[in-house]
């Protein structure tokens, strides 16, 4: 009960912090086409969100993670807050000048890029040249739980030629990447000089819960009958490799057990007397902490206290997804052009045959929000309150931030920003009325429908006349007269007009000050 209360208090604090950031109202509120959110999470009066369940999901402005790259593989960190990206980057690089005879247009560089969704910073943790005759590819990326360390299996193909044909050779290396320190180190040669590619020359598997992984190597057995291969395991922890563990010949298909410290297999692959490949049911259990290998009759019972579950990713609780679709844009000649598009929408959209709800006068939600056009989604990352959608477009990797907060908190924050915008608009319109009066011998405009047109030249933005929430006209000049300011007995108590806003209106007084009045 106490832990639950602490978690709720912490989450409430995070929500308040996010709302505090959102309500940092910027000058963009007066823009005729305000954006939804800036990259730092600024809320504007016309922000719309995808409402799904009890949460509002707001889309931020996309930003560049890395330019001029070709992503190959993405692997999210154990916490789901960061990602390790294997990618190729074209050469020559910016600020690097090469002699004309040294420029190879086909040469690229292989990169491992770490991007953190919280800080929104990208760091290249590993790079090497990727020549055409010795290309590098990533076979596997495994993050070790409870750490910032990832194990990466690199495959390099070396092509040599003789008089008859090209002869490729395949080599495999294990790379340790520490996102915390930014260091990358080759820690093992898994195989070299292979004539054919091997999908598992040194298969790596990280524990689902414990800070460890194993590297499995195997070699074929040339006997006509019996097991087909011989395997061994090397356990890796952040402190380094432990002593190798030899497995019984023919053991295959290892699975992690519920303690996250042991693996098991229920089969041995062998060749029978007729020369055919067969599978024999034999249970094998390996304790990776002690190195003990047993072949019991049945799987041992893991004590409840030792059982661990794979951590639930924060993204699993988000009720929105990314949908591919299309969008119609206008070209410079005003002609419609259709392009591919990525949209953020609720995870459970309404049925097509359902009766649509009446559109509210001041809508705060949208069925979907446009993320990007001409793009392809690559990965989604999420924490409790923020997420990031990674997508590629024109050789550039980008990230679109998404903010989540309770619907009630979003509505309250939006009303506050809209009210602030209403007060600001009214203040500027009151100043425009004063400037008009100075140019017309201290006379105010005549009451009527044309007041907005009369003070229009003194207004920097026509949107100041609008209700910030609805976009409709919200300005009313209600002062009946007389027009001469000198005849106004008490300017502080004389209303000139108002600008309507959410739940009320901002009143413009004859001395230029503005107050808020709640309306039923």
Average pLDDT over residues 489-501: 93
Please give the Cα distance from 354 to 495 (Å, whole number): 48
* Contact assessment for residue 387 and residue 305, using Cβ atoms and an 8 Å cutoff: no
Is the model more confident about 229 or about 101? 229
Residues 6+ apart with CB under 8 A from 271: 223, 224, 225, 226, 228, 277, 278
The DSSP output letter for 415 is H
pLDDT at position 5 over 50: no
26 pLDDT band, cuts 50/70/90, is very low
Q: Tell me, yes or no, if the pTM score tops 0.75.
A: yes
Residue 211 in tokens: 């800070």
Determine which of 86-100, 274-288, 411-425, 503-517 has the lowest per-residue pLDDT on average. Answer: 86-100
So what's the pLDDT on residue 129? 84
Radius of gyration of the chain (CA): 33
Q: What percent of the chain has pLDDT over 90?
A: 48
CA distances in angstroms from 227 to 47, 202, 252, 273, 284, listed in the order given: 65, 19, 11, 12, 15
Q: Position of tokens 């004389």?
A: 494
In angstroms, rounded to a whole number, what is the distance separating the alpha carbons of residues 299 and 282?
11
pLDDT average, residue stretch 471-494: 89
User: Can you give the pLDDT at residue 170?
Assistant: 85
What is the H or E stretch that residue 172 is in?
strand 166-178
Distance CA 24, CA 10 (A): 22
Query: Please, are residues 509 and 418 in contact by the beta-carbon 8 Å criterion?
Result: no
Do residues 451 and 477 lie in contact, with contact meaning Cβ atoms separated by under 8 Å? Answer: yes
At 162, the pLDDT band (50, 70, 90 cuts) reads: low
The answer to whether the CB of 217 falls within 8 A of the CB of 201 is: yes
Query: In angstroms, how far apart are the furthest CA atoms of the chain?
Result: 116
Which residues are CB-neighbours of 229 under 8 A, at least 6 positions away? 218, 219, 220, 221, 249, 250, 252, 269
Mean pLDDT on 196-213: 83
297-319 average pLDDT score:
81
Provide the pLDDT confidence category of residue 25 given band limits of 50, 70 and 90.
Answer: very low
Q: Are 263 and 255 in contact (CB under 8 A)?
A: yes
Whether residue 33 has pLDDT greater than 80: no
State pLDDT tens for residues 82-134: 999 999 987 554 455 445 444 444 558 899 999 999 888 999 999 988 877 77
Report helix angle 407-439 to 2-22, nearest 10. Answer: 20
Is residue 21 within 8 A of residue 40, CB to CB? The reply is yes
Query: At 431, is the pLDDT very low, low, confident or very high (cuts 50, 70, 90)?
Result: very high
Query: Sorting pLDDT into bands at 50, 70 and 90, what band is 21?
Result: very low
- Residue 35 is predicted with a pLDDT of 33
Exposed/middle/buried for 223, CB within 10 Å: 0-12, 13-18, 19+? exposed
- Calculated CA dihedral for residues 235, 236, 240, 245, nearest 10 degrees: 10
DSSP state string for 174-199: EEEEETTTTEEEEEEEEEEEESS--S
pLDDT tens for 342-367 read 999 998 655 554 444 444 455 678 88
**In 3D, which of 235, 214, 154, 218 has the Cα closest to residue 189?**
154
Q: What is the mean pLDDT of the chain?
A: 83
Residue identified by tokens 């019996």 is: 226
The region of weakest confidence among 189-193, 277-281, 415-419 is 189-193
Model confidence at 461, pLDDT cuts 50, 70, 90, reads: confident
Select the more confidently predicted residue: 379 or 170: 379
Q: Is the pLDDT of residue 205 over 80?
A: yes
Nearest CA to 447 among 496, 487, 489?
Answer: 496
Tell me which range, 206-210, 227-231, 300-304, is most confidently predicted by mean pLDDT: 206-210
For residue 293, what is the enclosing H or E element? strand 293-294
């Amino acid at each position: 009960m106490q832990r639950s209360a602490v978690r709720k208090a912490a989450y409430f604090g995070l929500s308040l912090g996010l709302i505090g950031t959102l309500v940092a109202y910027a000058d963009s509120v007066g823009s005729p086409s305000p954006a939804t959110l800036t990259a730092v999470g600024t809320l504007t009066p016309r922000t719309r969100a995808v409402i799904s369940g009890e949460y509002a999901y707001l889309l931020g402005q996309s930003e560049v993670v890395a330019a001029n790259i070709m992503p190959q593989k993405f692997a999210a960190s154990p916490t789901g807050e960061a990602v390790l990206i294997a990618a190729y980057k074209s050469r020559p690089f910016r600020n690097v000048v090469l002699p004309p005879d040294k420029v190879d247009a086909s040469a690229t560089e292989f990169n491992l890029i770490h991007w953190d969704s919280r800080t929104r910073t990208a760091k290249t943790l590993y790079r090497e040249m990727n020549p055409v005759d010795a290309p590098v590819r990533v076979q596997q990326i495994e993050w070790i739980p409870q750490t910032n360390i990832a194990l990466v299996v690199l495959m390099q193909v070396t092509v040599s030629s003789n008089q008859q044909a090209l002869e490729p050779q395949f080599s495999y290396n294990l790379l340790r990447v520490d996102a915390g320190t930014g260091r990358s180190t080759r820690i093992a040669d898994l195989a070299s000089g292979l004539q054919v590619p091997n999908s598992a020359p040194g298969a790596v598997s990280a524990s689902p819960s414990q800070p460890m992984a194993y590297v499995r190597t195997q070699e074929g057995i040339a006997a006509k009958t019996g097991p087909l291969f011989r395997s061994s395991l090397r356990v890796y922890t952040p402190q380094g490799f432990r002593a190798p563990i030899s497995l019984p010949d023919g053991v295959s298909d290892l699975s992690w057990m519920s303690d996250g410290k042991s693996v098991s297999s229920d089969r041995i692959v062998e060749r029978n007397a007729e020369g055919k490949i067969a599978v024999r049911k034999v249970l094998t259990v390996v304790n990776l902490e002690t190195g003990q290998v047993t072949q019991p009759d049945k799987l041992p019972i893991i004590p409840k206290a030792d059982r661990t579950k794979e951590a639930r990713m924060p993204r699993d609780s988000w009720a929105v997804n990314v949908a591919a679709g299309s969008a119609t844009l206008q070209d410079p000649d005003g002609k419609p052009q259709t392009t591919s598009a990525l949209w953020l929408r609720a995870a459970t959209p309404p049925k097509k045959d359902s009766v649509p709800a009446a559109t509210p006068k001041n809508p705060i939600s949208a069925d979907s929000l446009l993320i990007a056009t001409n793009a392809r989604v690559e990965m989604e990352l999420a924490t409790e309150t923020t997420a990031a959608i990674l997508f590629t477009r024109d050789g550039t990797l980008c990230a679109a931030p998404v903010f989540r907060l309770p619907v009630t908190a979003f509505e309250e924050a939006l009303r506050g920003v809209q009210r602030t915008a209403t007060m600001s608009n009214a203040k500027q319109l009151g100043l425009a009325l004063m400037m008009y009066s100075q140019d017309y011998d201290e006379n105010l405009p005549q009451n009527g429908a044309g007041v907005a047109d009369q003070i229009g030249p003194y207004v920097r933005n026509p949107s100041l006349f609008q209700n910030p929430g609805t976009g409709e006209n919200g300005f009313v000049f209600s002062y009946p007269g007389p027009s001469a300011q000198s005849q106004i007995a008490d300017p502080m108590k004389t209303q000139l007009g108002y600008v309507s806003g959410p739940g009320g209106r901002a009143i413009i007084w004859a001395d230029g000050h503005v107050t808020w009045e709640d309306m039923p």
